[in-house]
Structures are given as C-alpha cells and as structure tokens.
Chain A
Amino acid sequence: MFDTFPLWPTRASTTAGSVDALFIFLVTLSALMSLVIFTMIMVFAVRYRRRKGVAAEQIEGSTALEVTWSVIPLFIFVVIFVWGAVIYFKERTPPRGATEVYVVAKQWMWKLQHEEGQREINELHVPLGRDVKMILTSQDVIHSFYVPAFRIKQDVLPGRYTTAWFRPTKAGTYHLFCAEYCGSQHSGMIGQVVVLEPAQYEVWLSGGGASGTMASNGQNIFQQLGCSTCHRSDTQGRGPDLVGLFGKPVQLEDGRVVTADENYIRESILTPGAKVVSGFKPIMPVFQGLVSEEQLNALVAYVKSLNPSPSGAAGGPTVVPSGAKPQEPKVQ
C-alpha cells in the first residue's frame, strides 16, 4: 500500500499537481539563491582570508546595490505570492455539483456521511475523477482534515462548518491524518481515503446499509422537531419559506444581507435570534444543545435539497411535501 522509503508523496488529486509545481519552483529558486549566497561566502572566505601585509579595504556600502537586492527579491516574492494565491483560490472554491460528504470530527475519530446516506468511520470512499466537497465540523476541539496525497488540509472547528474539496485522479488508498493537535490520541486519529473506479464506487455505495439519503433523514427530523409547522412553502408560515433558499442572499431584519450558506443554516437552527430574516419575528426556539451534529448535518442537507436546481442533493425531495402532518410547535 505504501512505499517503505518514499521521497515524494503520492500525487492523487488535481490540486496535487499544481501544489507540486509551485513546490518544485520554490525548491529550485531556493537552491539557486542559496547557491549564489553560499558560493559568494566561500569565495570571499578563501579569496580574502587574512594575509600578512594585506589590509581590508574599507567600504561604506552602496545604495544602488541595496536597492537592487531589495527590489529583485520583492519582484520574485510577488510572483510567488500570486502563484500561491491562485492555487489557494482554487482550493478554497468548491466546484458546483460536487458530491457532498459531511464530516464530524471528535476526539479521536472521523465520522463521515455521504449525502446518499452511507456512514463511515475513519474511512472515506470516493469515486475517481469526481469532485468531492467536504462539509466539516467538530464535536469537541479543533481538528484538521489532512490528506497528503491530495495536498489538502482544512481545520475542523467546533460550532461551525468549514469546507474543503478535491478531485481524485488516481485510484488507491491514501492516508487521512488529523493535523491539528487534539489531545491524547491525536496521532491515532488517522484513517484512509479509498479512491475507487466509478463503477466500483457505485457497487460500494449500493452495498452499504444506508437508511435513506441524508436529505430524507433530514426531512424526518425536520418534521419530528416541528420545523415544518412554521417553515411552510405557502406564504402562511410564521417562518421564512426554505424552498430555494440555499445559496441565495437573505435580507435580514437589521438591514444586513447575508448569503444562505451551510453556516447560515446551521446558525439559524441553533441560535435563530442571531440573524432574523426581514419581515419575521424572532419567535423560533433555540435548538442549541437539542440536536446532535449528525442531525444538524441532515437538516442542512435537507434544506439544501429544497433547491430546485439540478445540482441539488441526489435523491432528496425537492419540495416540502404537502402531506406532512403539522405538529405542535415546540416552544423553548
């Protein structure tokens, strides 16, 4: 599975190639710069070693030289900065239509759930050549999701979502590490990412014991918690309509406009008073401490599935079913 003494990490994602290219450029540049400096030091050390009767020549300095060796590095630095920024921008921008995996980190375990509903622990199966977006959160301390073969790393924070994405380019099994120190078994919080050929992946996906997609699970929770009472698709609801909400700008009561991303939905479930939608009263109960991270993920997946766009979650319902039986609103 792994080499015994590798000198270069496996390159298994689209990102890996571009990161390696910048790395090789920087290694070459550093080697050249060191070579120039070290050679000069060596040559001066030999050429100007102390000799009887030869005194040092006193030189004040040279503004022209100072400017030269400030401006040339600065110019090189700008190139490196832009190069690094371009890669980073791609790393931080998940492509549309990516398969979504929800990750809950805890001391000292990775719990992953595919939007199709499959759950995994410390192991992630993904299809070759497809974009995979991860929506990560932590149940306790800060962790970091790190797959060296993909050259991606993203800290996983309690109380919010962070995201990362990759597109595997090579089938195989790769290390998954926790890269942010998280306590006793930090170095045991490791796992594997298994990249499968798409056909194999479909087999794997259908083999799991998933009971419904995340969105459909979310829908059940949505009704159990009584959310559907107020968040209705007609205009009669006491809460805003959630159909088509995800990804759209939302006008808030205090005048701000925010984008309805995963973190917004999360926050609006846990502490609804933080961002009240314009035209609505802050009457929604607080769910902080009442839903688990997994339930929350399912709810988020459900709300996202309410978008009519074709890139929505696979297999999820697209509208609030009208037949859902309203329940008593839960107050405090």
Chain B
Amino acid sequence: MATAAITAERENYLNQEYGIKSWLLTVDHKRIALLYLLSITFFFFIGGFFALLIRLELLTPAGDLVQADTYNKLFSMHGQVMIFFFLIPSIPAVLGNFLVPLMIGAKDLAFPRINLLSWYLYIIAGVLMVHCMLTGGVDTGWTFYTPFSTAFSNTKVIEAGLAIFISGFSSILTGLNFVVTIHRMRAPGMTWDRLPLFIWAHYATSIIQLLGTPVVAVTLVLVVLERALHLGIFDPTRGGDPLLFQHLFWFYSHPAVYIMILPSMGVVTEIIPCFCRKRIFGYKFVALSSISIAVFGFLVWAHHMFVAGISLYAALIFSALSYLVAVPSAIKVFNWTATMYKGSITFSTPMLYAFGFVGLFTMGGLTGLFLAALGLDVHVTDTYFVVAHFHYIMVGGALMGYLGGMHFWWPKISGRMYPESLGRLAALIVFLGFNLTFFPQFILGYLGMPRRYWQYPPEFQVLNVLSTAGATVLAVGYLLPMVYFLWSMRYGKVAPDNPWGASGLEWMTTSPPPTFNFDQPPVVNWEAYDYEHIPAPQEARSGG
C-alpha cells in the first residue's frame, strides 16, 4: 500500500541509524528502552524456566526430579533473577525509559549518557549473574539470610551478591535520571497537576530507588565481607547479630515491592481512563497515594520479622504501620473503579490486563491484611500463603501491569499493531493460568506447607498438582505475546499515531517517534486526561 510505504519510510528513532554500533552506543532513551526490553525478556525466560522446574519438582511429594541442592538453587535464582533482573527494571527501565521524556514533552532524559551507563551496569551485573548460574549457582534464597549465607552456604554467594550490588547501581541511576528529568525537563505548561499519573508513579518509584537501593547494596557488601574476610557483623559466633541483617535487608526489600508495583499502578492509571474515555477519578488522590506509598513503604519493613525474634512492642508498631500503607493502595483501587462509572468502556487487550491487575492486586492487597495481623502472621508467615500473597502482588499485579503497558504502548514503540484477538486470548490465558497456579497456594499455606520445601507430606499433593497445572497454562500465556509481538514487527498493521485515542503527549507524535521525540516542542494548555476533547481512535492501516 502506497501510504503505508510512505509512513514506513518516515524517519524515526528505529530507522534513523542502522548497525550494531548505533544501538550499543546510542544515547536515545527509546533505543535504550529497547535494549532493556531485550535484556529483561532474556532474564524473564530464565527465571520462568526455573519456576517451571520448581513446579515440576513439586508435582509429587517426594523429591524426585532434581536433587535437594539443585532445588534450593532453583528457587534462589528464580527469586534473584525475577526480582533484581526482571521486575525491578521491568516497567521503569523499559516503559519508563521510553515514555517519561515523551509524556512530559522532553527530547530525552536529563542525562542520556548516564542512562546508557545504567544499561551497561545492568548488563555487567547480568553477565556476572549468568556466570554465577552456569558455574554452580547460589542457594541462599533471594533473601541471603545470615549466618547461612555468610558462614554455611558453600555456593557462589559472593558472585551473586556482587551481581545484585552492581544491578543496584543501574537502578539508582535510572531513578536519579527520572527525578531530575521530571523536575527539570517538563514542557511549557506541563505543570505538576497536569502530569500523567504514570509520571507520578515513576517519581515515587525513583525516590525509593534512590533512598532504598544504597541500603541493600551496603548490606550485600557486608555479607560479602563477612563471608570473605570473616568479619563478625551478622554471625553470632563472631559477635555479630543475624537479625541486624534482616533489618537492613528488609529496609530495602520491602520498599522494593513498591518499586515493582508502583510503576504498574501508573500503567493501569493510564489504561483505564483511555478505555473509559474519561478523566481519571480523583487525580490528586491517586497522585498523592503514590507518594504516600513510597513514604510509608519505608516504615514497615519489620513486618517480615514477626516471628524472627524482634521485641513484642516493635512488632506492634510495625503491624500498625503496615495497615497505614494499605490505605493509599485501597484509595487507588476505589478510584480506578470509580473512573469506570458513566464511562464509555471498550475491552481492548490493555484494558483486559488492567481489569486483571485490579482484580489480582485487590486479592494480593487483601491477603496482605492477613499477614499484617500479628497473631495470624505467626501461623502463615514462611508458608505458601506468603508465596501466594506476593505472587498476587508481583506477578498478578506488577507483571499484569507490565504486559498491559506493553500492549498499550507497543504501537508507539514498534509502529505496528499486535493482533487484537490473540492479545485478548493471551490476557485471558494469563489471568486463568495465574489464578490456577497461585490460588491453591493460599490454601496450602493455611494448611501449613512451609515455603522452600523440596519434598512435602503427601496430603499437600492435590493442591500442588493444581498449582503446577496452572503454571503450564501461565507459561503459554507468556509465550504467546512474545510470539505475536515479534510477528507484528513485520506483519502487523501499521500503527497510527494515536491508535487508542489516548491523552498524553506521547500520542501526539508519530508512531514510532522521531529521535528527538517531537518535531515541534510541545506546549501544554490542557488538563491531564482531557478525554472530553480527544478525538476518537484512529483506524489502523494494514501493513506489508
């Protein structure tokens, strides 16, 4: 088609330069986002592969598929890869990197070279992690609890610790770049109360990355030092305190949950108004709830330690504070729901993921109330109840949001449309597979099955079989988008500039955008989510 050919030839960030050097030395935030996309997808499939092996091992009560030590390495590296190499960078480093400058009307991030540096740090960390996995792996869990990690494990703790330490710097630099960019690079008229809520969510996330990550970095260095030089920091036989490690670790690792979920909330907050054709309900409350989650998130870490041997009164305070952090999360859920009221709703793939997110996040959040209740936490902590709970938040929540966002902005990123009916099918498969995998684990947990068990008493088998069955369904649901995204890059319909009729500056430039994002520097004189004045979705044209 003649028009399609002309559109495809139009200069954009993808076709402006060719060759491997133009990618590896790029300082374009959009290209760096794609570099991140490739890298985190690689790690997602590694982590997913470990998860499948874990689920297959748990199909039978006996430990029969892999050795106990192998199993311990599998769940340890599944956690480390998924958290530090997939979830934490996922939305910020891919969608955030791509969209933050576009959404605020900037040419690029404030520090394009630092942005590239952060990707290289991530790659160095990733290579180290892969090397660690290939040469024996690590069996400390993702939590590195001492003194097991410092004095007892005979696996590659130091290497894994250093890999995560380095990836932390990548995370810090991304956060730093976003904070400065959001403060300094907004287009004329893009005031704080006109910012898309995706930006607010990333601003809150960046604050956590900046303030929290150094703490886990220092903690891991202390683990490495104690292990290598036998210092007595956490090991009681050398005068250390193992609980000190847990305090330091969770001081970061609880807020890290919000690094994973806040950007996802930001994505959903863009999708829902778009497919309801409505301004978001309670803009200010949604924005402030992101900030308050980031702030309160720093004050609840010891709720991971209610049976660890902390004092009764410390436990009371941390339990109470944990309920406070639940309030802003509840506010978000109510506002998303209220946004649908009197809307004009369509059910495109991104919206299905947003529905899935709200449902699964709600369940994850509600089961968080169980865990914050002291007397009940004693029974369910360190069981599959916890495993189910945090997968509802981090996979049901964060990952659903990521997939929803990938579908929503794929036309902008690639310039092509993905096949809509396959997209909806995949969303449905992911939702069903997810629930089949993780809902039985709530029951397993209340029955008392501890987490990180290679073999288990036979009465837990039925629920474990259900969970494993769900995991295979889930795997199909994750493979499908990867296949059709790749397919669409060549065969997908050519995307119009604004296929969804969405608000936001990123839709006012071409798909894909030019290297410097906008032909004319934009000036904003409208409110955020101004769906009253946004034209209806444009038709996608068939491509070649």
Contact = CB atoms under 8 A, between A and B. Distances in A.
A141 B147 contact: yes
A89 B338 contact: no
**Band of interface residues on B:** 35 or more
B515 to A, nearest CB: 35
B376 A61 contact: no
Contacts of A59: 278-279, 281, 338, 341-342
A66 B285 contact: yes
B367 to A, nearest CB: 7
A159 B337 contact: no
B299 to A, nearest CB: 15
A142 B381 CA distance: 15
Contacts of A88: 306, 312, 315-316, 319, 374-375, 377-378
Interface string A59-100: 111100110011001100110110111111111100000000
Contacts of A29: 366, 369
A201 B288 CA distance: 60
A69 B334 contact: yes
Contacts of A7: 443, 447
A50 B152 contact: no
A94 to B, nearest CB: 12
Given A69-B334, A140-B152, A187-B452, A92 B381 contact: no
User: Dominant SS at the B interface?
Assistant: helix
Contacts, number: 284
Contact of A84 (B63, B319, B337, B367): B319
Contacts of B531: 56, 58
B331 interface: yes
Contact of A62 (B63, B282, B452): B282
B278 A58 contact: yes
- Scoring A51, A91, A107, A142 by chain B CB atoms within 10 A of each residue's CB, the highest score goes to A142
**Band of interface residues on A:** 35 or more
Contact of A18 (B276, B366, B375): B375
A280 B205 CA distance: 55
Given A80-B323, A142-B145, A19 B309 contact: no
B68 interface: yes
21 contacts: A8-B446, A19-B375, A22-B375, A37-B362, A41-B340, A54-B344, A56-B344, A61-B284, A62-B282, A69-B334, A80-B369, A80-B372, A80-B373, A81-B373, A88-B316, A88-B377, A153-B307, A178-B450, A179-B383, A181-B72, A181-B143
Interface of A: 2-9, 15, 18-19, 22-23, 26, 29-30, 33-34, 37-38, 40-41, 44-45, 48-51, 54-62, 65-66, 69-70, 73-74, 77-78, 80-81, 83-92, 107, 140-142, 144, 146, 148-149, 151-155, 157-160, 162, 175, 177-188, 190
In order of increasing CB-CB distance, the 4 nearest A-B pairs are A87-B375, A148-B448, A159-B236, A84-B373
